[in-house]
Amino acid sequence: MAKNKNIFDYVFFTEILQGMGVTLKHMFKKPVTYKYPYEATPIFERFRGVHYMKTDEDGNPKCVGCYLCERVCPSECIHIETDAGPNGERLIRKYEIELDRCIYCGFCEEACPVDAIHMGRSYDVVRPTREGYRVNMKFLVDKYKEYLKDKGE
């Protein structure tokens, strides 16, 4: 019960009628719903989704095994193992990301000195097992191919 309402508003429910006018106006607006499984929701330019690994012209991953992303990762979900090659260069024996642990912060992308690991724009990784979330270099390179294809459109 408002104290300072004037008598006209009180008797004729003007405020309620105003509110009803608003709802009636809204009824004829076009709904803003995305019908999700049938329509893709828009993904913004800077969205950080599942990672991808850039490759050079020969199709080899650009990663040089410097361990910086593993070091900077706050949830410690990147695991790298390297070996010495025949000519003294580093070979990457294992490069794994545990996507179920990853918090998608993008630090790995920022720390990478050779422009190799990147955050992609896909988000549809749901697996039935924890093991399924451990993705390796092959997966990341495939994601890069997908990314290029999407960009080409």
Partner 1 sequence: MLVGIILTVIKILIVITVVLLSVAYMTWAERKVIGHMQVRLGPTHVGWKGLLQPIADGLKLLMKEDLVPDMVDKPVFIIAPLLSLIPALSAFAVIPFADKFVIFGKEVQPYISDINIGLLYILALSSVGTYGIIMSGWASNSKYALLGSLRSSAQVISYETAMGLSLVGPVLLAGSLSLRDITIAQKGLWFIVPQIVAFVVYLISAIAETNRAPFDLPEAETELVAGFHVEYSSMKFALFFLAEYANMYVVSSIATIVFLGGWNGPILPGFVWFVLKVLFFMFLYLWLRATLPRLRFDQLMSLGWKVLIPVALANLLVTSIIVYIVR
Q: Which residues bind partner 1 (CB under 8 A)?
A: 1, 13, 16, 19-20, 22-24, 26-33, 35
77 among the known binding-site residues?
Answer: no
Q: Nearest distance from residue 26's CB to partner 1, in Å?
A: 5
Does 66 appear as a known binding residue?
yes
Report the nearest approach of partner 1 to the CB of residue 9 (Å): 15
User: Smaller CB distance to partner 1: residue 16 or 148?
Assistant: 16
Q: Which residue lies nearer to partner 1 by CB, 16 or 103?
A: 16
> Least CB distance from residue 41 to partner 1, whole Å?
15
Cβ neighbours of residue 109 under 8 Å, at least 6 residues apart?
A: 48, 51, 117, 118, 119
Calpha distance 31→19 (Å, rounded): 19
